Amino acid sequence: MINLYEVEETNKMVEQENLDVRTITLGISLLDCVDADLDRCLDKIYQKITVSARDLVKTGEEIAREFGVPIINKRISVTPIALVGAAACRTTEDFARIADTLDRAAHTVGVNFIGGYSAVVSKGMTPADELLIRSIPLALSRTERVCSSVNVGSTRCGIDMDAVKLMGEIIRETAERTAGQDSLGCAKLVVFCNAPDDNPFMAGAFHGVTEGDIVINVGVSGPGVVKTAIEKVRGENFETLCETIKKTAFKVTRVGQLVAKEASRRLGVPFGIVDLSLAPTPAIGDSVAEILCEMGLEHVGAPGTTAALALLNDQVKKGGVMASSYVGGLSGAFIPVSEDQGMIDAVSAGALTLEKLEAMTCVCSVGLDMIAIPGDVSAASISGIIADEMAIGMVNQKTTAVRLIPVIGKGVGETVEFGGLLGHAPIMAVNPFGCETFIRRGGRIPAPIHSFKN
Amino acid sequence: MKKAIITVVGQDTVGIIAKVCTYLADNEINILDISQTIVQGYFNMMMIVDRSASKKHFADVAAELEELGTQIGVVIKCQREEIFAQMHRI
């Protein structure tokens, strides 16, 4: 039978170490909403989302209450809208109207974000894909809860450099259109390589075409729990360190599995995956950077950082995989800058640069995330950064992503405040040398050789 | 059997157990096990209860116990047992 010590340990994780279920994300296929008539298409989308997700928020709150574990966000991901709107949309305004509908549906059911204003263009863009991408600045500037992502590369297909070039321009335009809010629109826009179909975390969540009609995906978190656990093994060798992280990740993921199964049962929706990520928030004690410092680094960015992050990411996966029947999504350690107080401190101290972050993305679960850069960085340079990050993902067969925020009107050394979970960030320097001629070439980078395994 | 775990933590005072047990009896919740300690004046109790006979919605029970705790000046949590079993048992 459960003993007092075990109960205390669990409750301490929740009360003092910020253990939570970060998100229950309901994935909804909108493929059956396709219609050549835009108004009918919008009606179907609104109906499908509001009916499918009717009880999502209420159920999430009930589960949190009964198990005594906070469930921070309830969210929705939908089929990439480039597919859904292809038959009906002729202009960027048409696509933006779908974004309006998604935003309205999100308000109706009470979710704080809805993801899937997306296009998957690893090899090439259809006219609809390109139109959707061109509508992103408009859509993000006039909606509140819609999140957008574009997958521009994969290990199997290579990198669509035309899309990379376009995304540099789109990120800049989104920044400019939302300049009044410190370019907040860019915080809701992610560029991916090897994007997973079942990611529950925003801003990159979408409901891939490999998925069923409706599915429940759950993202757990708990950097504070891992940090507290490894405080107890200070000075011990790597074997002990790794074992400790693994066991802790197991416990954290079990909570996600339980919540996912329960939500699935109550909503009558199949359970998809648990994403066992360490997702930080700006709260003290909820930081991935603090884990790395606890391992023995003075600041994130110091020599040894990449190795520390590699072992953390791997042990989180090893512990988590056994704890859940289906693991998916991004699963690992996130290293967003603005959402992690330890990362912010490292940048402010001059310990962490964009280049070191890029190295870290080779071994973390995602990529260059929530990084504020000066507002005068050119579209070509942004495309260059995206291309570098996509290449890392393509060659290493992992998901990589870029979420950069060029803050219009601000420069290196200034700070930008996004508020809430999105946090605040010091603006980081970007290498000033150009890459425009490279980006202007157009076409695509072929898939790397290890795609010919079959 | 539908098990739940109740934890009570706070400054020791007269009648904590009595009040919690009265509430449980009134709501047809059966106590299976109690373990309790007092460390430096701090009251620390864990109960394992069976709620299968209770007609009340479990979320309401948890909320009412929390409210009762506020009245007595202690923190009472009532959680379904699965959260602990899942985390600590393979």
* Rounded-to-10 torsion of CA A238, A243, A248, A253: 120
Q: A256 pLDDT exceeds 80? A: yes
The share of chain B scoring above pLDDT 70, in percent, equals 100
Domain count, chain B: 1
Cβ–Cβ gap B88/A65 under 8 Å: no
Cβ–Cβ gap B79/A62 under 8 Å: no
Confidence check on the interface: ipTM exceeds 0.90, yes or no: no
pLDDT at A454: 60
pLDDT at B30: 95
b/e map A339-366, b = 16+ CB within 10 Å: bbbbbbbbbeeebbbbebbbebbbbbbb
Q: What is the DSSP string of A145-191?
A: SEEEEEEEEETTTEEEHHHHHHHHHHHHHHHHHTGGGTTGGGGGEEE
Q: What is the DSSP string of A39-90?
A: HHHHHHHHHHHHHHTTTHHHHHHHHHHHHT--EEEEEEEES-HHHHSTTT--
Domain count, chain A: 2
The reply to whether A310 falls in a domain is: yes
pLDDT at A164: 97
Q: A18 pLDDT exceeds 90? A: no
Q: And the tokens for A220?
A: 């757990």
Residues A400, A393 contacting (CB under 8 angstroms): yes
Element (H, E) at A258: helix A238-267
> Is A84 found in the same domain as A229?
no
Q: Is A225 on the interface with B (CB under 8 A)?
A: no
> Is A253 found in the same domain as A155?
no
Q: A94 pLDDT exceeds 90? A: yes
CATH code at position A67: 3.20.70.20
Q: Is A37 on the interface with B (CB under 8 A)?
A: no
The torsion angles phi and psi of A202, rounded to 5 degrees, stand at -85, 155
The share of chain A scoring above pLDDT 70, in percent, equals 99
Last residue of a domain, one of A158, A193, A228: A193
Q: Which of B44, B62, B88 sits opposite A6 (nearest CB)?
A: B88
Q: A3 pLDDT exceeds 90? A: no
> Is A226 found in the same domain as A167?
no
Place of tokens 């308000």: A107
A58: nearest CA in chain B?
A: B59
Higher pLDDT, A138 or A18: A138
CA of A436 vs chain B CAs: smallest distance (Å): 52
> Is A278 found in the same domain as A133?
no
- Within 13 Å, how many C-alpha atoms sit on residue A56's CB side? 34
> Is A233 found in the same domain as A133?
no
Q: Which of B48, B59, B63 sits opposite A2 (nearest CB)?
A: B48
The share of chain A scoring above pLDDT 90, in percent, equals 84
How long, in residues, is chain B? 90
Cβ–Cβ gap B84/A6 under 8 Å: yes
Cβ–Cβ gap B83/A2 under 8 Å: no
Lowest mean pLDDT, pick from A319-328, A344-353, A397-406:
A319-328
Taking the C-alpha atoms of residue A195 and residue B64, their distance in angstroms, rounded to an integer, is: 45
∠ Cα B9 B15 B19 (to 5°):
80
- The SS3 call for residue A400 is strand
Residues A160, A397 contacting (CB under 8 angstroms): no
Taking the C-alpha atoms of residue A119 and residue A133, their distance in angstroms, rounded to an integer, is: 7
Helix B16-26 × helix B58-72 angle, to 10°: 150
CATH code at position B38: 3.30.70.260
pLDDT at A414: 92
Set of chain A residues whose Cβ sits within 8 Å of the Cβ of B7: 7-8, 11
A433 pLDDT tier (thresholds 50, 70, 90): very high
User: What pTM was estimated for this model as a whole?
Assistant: 0.92
Best residue of A4, A5, A9, A58 to probe chain B, by most B CBs closer than 10 Å = A4
- Find all residues with CB under 8 Å of A359, minimum gap 6, and list them: A306
Q: For residue range A70-86, what is the model confidence (pLDDT) as tens digits?
A: 999 999 999 999 999 99
Q: What is the DSSP string of B49-72?
A: EE-TT--S-HHHHHHHHHHHHHHH
Cβ–Cβ gap B62/A62 under 8 Å: no
Cβ–Cβ gap A6/B87 under 8 Å: yes
Cis, bond preceding B85 (omega within 30 deg of 0): no
CA distances to A21, A50, A268, B52 from A265, rounded to whole Å, are 17, 19, 5, 19
CA of B46 vs chain A CAs: smallest distance (Å): 6
> Is A442 found in the same domain as A392?
yes
The reply to whether A124 falls in a domain is: yes
Q: For residue range A266-302, what is the model confidence (pLDDT) as tens digits?
A: 999 999 999 988 989 888 889 999 999 999 999 999 9
Strand-pairing partners, residue B5, are B48, B79
Q: What is the DSSP string of A196-253?
A: -TT--SSSS----TTS-SEEEEEEE--HHHHHHHHHTTTT--HHHHHHHHHHHHHHHH
Place of tokens 């320097």: A429
User: According to DSSP H, which parts of A324-425 are helical?
Assistant: 341-348, 354-360, 379-396
Best residue of B6, B84, B90 to probe chain A, by most A CBs closer than 10 Å = B84
b/e map B39-72, b = 16+ CB within 10 Å: eeeebbbbbbbbbeebeeebeebbeebeebbeeb
Q: Please report the residues numbered 166 through 195 in chain A whose beta carbons come closer than 8 angstroms to any beta carbon of chain B.
A: none
Cα-Cα-Cα-Cα dihedral sign, residues A336, A339, A342, A348: positive
CA distances to A182, A186, A377, A404 from A410, rounded to whole Å, are 9, 15, 11, 14
* Parent domain of A274: 219-449
A14: nearest CA in chain B?
A: B83
CA of B29 vs chain A CAs: smallest distance (Å): 15
CA of A220 vs chain B CAs: smallest distance (Å): 13
The reply to whether A406 falls in a domain is: yes
Number of Cβ within 10 Å of residue A33's Cβ equals: 24
* Beta-sheet strand order (sheet of B30-39): B30-39, B42-50, B3-11, B74-80
The reply to whether A211 falls in a domain is: no
A16 pLDDT tier (thresholds 50, 70, 90): confident
Q: A451 pLDDT exceeds 70? A: no
pLDDT at A413: 87
Set of chain B residues whose Cβ sits within 8 Å of the Cβ of A8: 7
Amino acid letter for position A53: A
B36: nearest CA in chain A?
A: A4
Q: And the tokens for B2?
A: 């539908």
Q: Is A70 on the interface with B (CB under 8 A)?
A: no
Taking the C-alpha atoms of residue B7 and residue B29, their distance in angstroms, rounded to an integer, is: 15
CA of B14 vs chain A CAs: smallest distance (Å): 22
pLDDT at A311: 96
Average pLDDT over all residues of chain A: 94
Q: A420 pLDDT exceeds 80? A: no
Set of chain B residues whose Cβ sits within 8 Å of the Cβ of A274: none
pLDDT at A37: 96
CA of A274 vs chain B CAs: smallest distance (Å): 15
Higher pLDDT, B1 or A344: A344
Set of chain A residues whose Cβ sits within 8 Å of the Cβ of B81: 2
Of A202, A349, A211, which Cα lies nearest the Cα of A277? A202
* Parent domain of B64: 3-88
- Find all residues with CB under 8 Å of A289, minimum gap 6, and list them: A280, A300, A335, A340, A341, A342, A343, A345, A346
Last residue of a domain, one of A175, A193, A211: A193
pLDDT at A423: 84
Cβ–Cβ gap B58/A66 under 8 Å: yes
* Strands A189-193 and A146-154, bridge-based pairing: parallel
Last residue of a domain, one of A177, A193, A209: A193
CA of A255 vs chain B CAs: smallest distance (Å): 7
A30 pLDDT tier (thresholds 50, 70, 90): very high
- The SS3 call for residue A338 is coil
Rounded average pLDDT over A324-342:
90
pLDDT at A100: 97
A184 pLDDT tier (thresholds 50, 70, 90): very high
> Is A237 found in the same domain as A91?
no
The reply to whether A10 falls in a domain is: no
